[in-house]
Amino acid sequence: MSPGIIVFAHGSRIASANQAVCEVAARLAQAGSFEHVEAAFLELGQPDLEGAVARLASYGVRRIVVLPYFLTPGLHLERDLPRIVADISSKYSGLEILVTPPLDGHPALLEVLLDRARAVINLTTSH
């Protein structure tokens, strides 16, 4: 069975922000032809990471890749996420949970920033 993927975000009191994360997870599933992709939230959104892991495990997934949808490392990624993953791992024998680095440092991030900057510069210089 292919691995499950979890797009793990902080969560927000603003429902549309959490919905945007769910939409990113759905687009990732489609773009990558991944069978099992879930969104999960540290707080202020559902499901939490343990809930998303439980859902994937119920499908028979034995390997899960957690993609932190965070720009930079910080306390949540350095302290909270490893603790949460360790707690979840202790409850599921035979389940492997891997965590990728956050978005910071990925070469495509520079392209995104350039695209955003150029879009505004082009808009303001065309008037």
Tallying the residues shown for the chain, one arrives at 127
Measured distance CA(88)–CA(12) in Å, rounded: 23
Q: What residues are paired with 98 via a beta bridge?
A: 65
**3-state class percentages of the chain: helix first, strand second, coil last, to nearest 5:** 50, 15, 30
Omega before 82 within 30 of 0, i.e. cis: no
Selected catalytic residue, list 10, 36, 76, 127: 10
Active site residue 127: no
Q: Which residues have a catalytic role annotated?
A: 10
